[in-house]
Chain A
Amino acid sequence: DIQMTQSPSSVSASVGDRVTITCRASQSISTWLAWYQQRPGKAPKLLIYAVSSLQSGVPSRFSGSGSGTDFTLTISSLQPEDFATYYCQQANSFPRTFGQGTKVEIK
């Protein structure tokens, strides 16, 4: 299985801050990488797929980059509704695997 490791596990930030979350794959996954946002008690929501493609309806303050094994999710200006947990997912091979999550908390 491809292991996905996110860092940090949690981050405290203020509204308007720029937040960056990283995700590392245990082997190359090319550009087969997605990001999800999960609010408490809700299903995950797809934000970005193929490293940097924004899912329909997702605000442009979310962006992604990377290739191979190292990837980044950036929120350019944190909004109140962005406080949530974020997961990366590799879409390169079976079984699909997720990172352990990064919780973005209010500072």
Chain B
Amino acid sequence: QVQLQQWGAGLLKSSETLSLTCGVYGGSFSDYFWSWIRQPPGKGLEWIGEINHSGSANYNPSLKSRVTISVDTSKNQFSLKLSSVTAADTAVYYCARVKRWRNVFDFWGQGTMVTVSS
């Protein structure tokens, strides 16, 4: 069974860089794209971007200038960096697996609440 376990700092100050990592346990790492999605408190879901094992990435244009998603295939991990955060970046951040050929998210991490204070 595939499990995604994520970790990273939960409290940031404005202008700092958000950094989260997601570890993938079980199943193949190289056969999939891996994604980050966020959800502000009480609001809906926003796709941030995705990456595959070779480092090919796609980003949401609304965040592209501040986002970097990277991969470490030796550890079956992928990471998110979001620079110059503001209060608007306060959200629960999820990592997720992209279901092959379907472009949907079939396994999710537990979520990390990230709060940006001014």
A interface residues (Cβ-Cβ under 8 A, vs B): 1, 32, 34, 36, 42-46, 49-50, 55, 87, 89, 91-92, 94-101
Interface of B is mostly: loop
Cα distance A55–B46 when bound, in Å?
Answer: 22
Interface of A is mostly: loop
Q: Are B61 and A96 in contact (CB under 8 A)?
A: no
B interface residues (Cβ-Cβ under 8 A, vs A): 35, 44-47, 58-62, 94, 96, 99, 102-106, 108-111
Pick the residue among B44, B103, B106 that contacts A87 (CB under 8 A): B44
Contacts of B61 in A (CB 8 A): 1, 95
Pick the residue among B46, B60, B104 that contacts A34 (CB under 8 A): B104
Contacts of B106 in A (CB 8 A): 46, 49, 55
Q: Are B47 and A49 in contact (CB under 8 A)?
A: no
Cα distance A98–B108 when bound, in Å?
Answer: 16
CB proximity of A14 to chain B, nearest CB, Å:
25
Q: Are B104 and A43 in contact (CB under 8 A)?
A: no
Q: Are A46 and B104 in contact (CB under 8 A)?
A: yes
Q: Are A96 and B108 in contact (CB under 8 A)?
A: no
Q: Which chain B residue lies CB-closest to A46?
A: B106
Pick the residue among B45, B96, B102, B110 that contacts A91 (CB under 8 A): B102
Q: Are A91 and B44 in contact (CB under 8 A)?
A: no
